[in-house]
Amino acid sequence: MPRWTHELSGARPRQSEREWLNSDAELVRAELGDGAVTWAIEVGQAIATRIANKVPALKDELLPLDTLRRTTTSTTYRALMLVADIGDSDTTLASAEVSQIAGEFVRRGLELNDLLRAIRVGYAVLAAALLDAVNRLLPPEESSAELRRISVLLFEELDDFTDVAASAFLDEKGAWAAGVSAARFELITRIVAADAAEDIDTADAKRILDYPLDGHHVALIAWSTPHSRHDLRAVVDPVLRQWAAPTSSLVVPVGQQSIWAWGAFPSATTFNDPNRLPFFDDTFIAAGGVGSGIEGFRRSHLEARAVERLIRRRPDLRPATVAHEHVALEVLLLNDPDAASQFVSRRLGPLAGDDPRMAELRSTLSRYFDLNHSLAKVAAAEHISKNTVTYRIQQALTLCGHAGDSTTDLRAALRIHKWLHGTPHEQ
C-alpha cells in the first residue's frame, strides 16, 4: 500500500459529508484515514463542476450537479482503492453509481456522446488530482515510478469504465424508448422547446399526455434529497390546491428523484393563500405562474425551471416550496450569478460581510425598505427601539457608501445577497 495515500487531506474546512458517503468511503476511511475521504469528496466535486462547465448539454442544468457529483465522488473512492490496493481483488473503477448516472442521462433526454464527453472530461480531472498528489507527497526520487504506475493503471481502467457506462446507457435507452413515459417526455420536450409549441397537434397531444392543453395551467418541478423516501407524486395535488382544485394533472418522472408536473384549471386562478405554500420534508418544489393554452403550459414550466435554478443556488440548500411570483425579481436579478455577485460587492461594500453584525444591519435595512421606511413598524417587527432602528440604518448606509435619494440599486443588491449568501435568519 503506497504510504502517500495515508497522507491525503482536503483543503477546505471540515463539513457534513453524509450525502457523499457509501460503503467504499467507509473502506477508504478505515484503511487510509479521514483525510483521504475528504480529499476524495473535494476531487469528486471538482470533477462534477468541470463536467458541468465543459459538456454543452449540461450547461442548461438538465442534470443537477449533486446527482452528477455523487457519481464522480464514488468513482474517486474507487480510484483510491485501486491505487492503494485495498478492497476486493475484483474491484473496478466503475461503481454502481456509474450505471445509475448513465440511466439518468437517458431519462433526461441526453445523448450517448454527452455521456462519453463527460467521461473524458472527468477522467482528466481525476488523473490530474492523483498525479498532483503523488508529486506533492513523495520526494522526486520516488515519485517517477509511482507516477508511471498510476498512469498505466488509469489507462487500463478507462476502457472497462467506458464500456460499463455505455452499456448501461444503451440498455436504459432501449427500455425507455419502449415506454409511455418516453413518448410523453419527448412530446413535452417538444412543447417546451422554443417556437416548437406552434407545431403541436393539441388533439394528438391530449391523447398522448392524457391531459388537456387548452384552459389554464400551473407547472411544478419537484425533487428530493438522496436519502428521502418521500413519494414525489404525493406533493403535487396539495401544492396545486393552493391555486384551486385541478380538473386534471400530469406527472412525468425525470430521473430517479425528480418529477415535472402540471395542473389544469377551468379558469384563470390565483393563490388561495400566498403565504401558506405547503412544506414537505426532504423535498424541494418550484412552481411556475398561471398560463393559458399550450403557450401557458410551456411558459409556466420555464418559470418553474427558473425557480429551480434559483433554489439550487442557495448555499444552505434546505427543502422549500417556492412560487415564481414570489421570487420573480430574484429570478431576473440572478440570471447571471457572477454579474449579480459583482453588483452586490460594488453596491454593498463592507455591508456584504458575513459576520453577525453585518447580517443584523442588512436585515434591519431590508425590513426598513420593505415597510415603506416606517421606523415604528421596523421597531415592532424586530422588537427594538426606534432609536436603535435609526442607528442601524445610518450605520448600514454609511458602510455601503450610499448617497442620494434613489434606493433601487441598494434594494436589488440586498435581495441578491439575501438569496445567495444570507444567513438562515435573513432567509
- For the chain, the structural domain boundaries read 4-177, 202-331, 336-421
Cell of 92: 473496478
Q: What class is the 336-421 domain?
A: mainly alpha
In the numeric block, the cell 422554443 is attached to 194
Q: In DSSP terms, which residues pair with 222 in a beta bridge?
A: 259, 285
Pairing relation of β-strands 283-287 and 321-323?
Answer: parallel
Mapping DSSP to helix (H, G, I), strand (E, B) and coil, where does residue 264 land?
A: strand
Q: Is the pTM of this model over 0.95?
A: no
In 256-381, DSSP assigns E strands to: 258-265, 283-287, 291-292, 321-323
4-177 topology per CATH: Globin-like (1.10.490)
- Cα separation, 238 vs 276, in Å, equals 11
Beta-carbon-side half-sphere exposure of residue 264 (alpha carbons within 13 Å): 16
Tens of pLDDT along 8-20? 988 876 666 677 7
More confident residue, 276 or 157: 157
Buried/exposed code over 104-142 (b: 16+ C-beta within 10 A; e: otherwise) = bbbbbbbeeebbebbbebbbebbbebbbebbeebbeeee
- Cα separation, 22 vs 9, in Å, equals 18
DSSP state of 242: T
pLDDT at 338: 86
DSSP state of 14: P
Where does residue 170 fall: left (phi above 0), alpha (psi -120 to 50 degrees), or beta otherwise? alpha
Q: How large is the average pLDDT for residues 318-340? A: 89
CB 101 within 8 A of CB 110: no
pLDDT at 61: 63
Beta-carbon-side half-sphere exposure of residue 95 (alpha carbons within 13 Å): 20
Tens of pLDDT along 42-94? 999 999 999 998 888 786 666 778 888 999 999 999 999 999 999 888 889 99
Tens of pLDDT along 170-200? 998 888 777 777 888 888 988 888 665 567 8
Phi and psi, residue 224, nearest 5°: -125, 165
Tens of pLDDT along 382-394? 999 999 999 999 9
202-331 topology per CATH: Alpha-Beta Plaits (3.30.70)
- Cα separation, 28 vs 6, in Å, equals 10
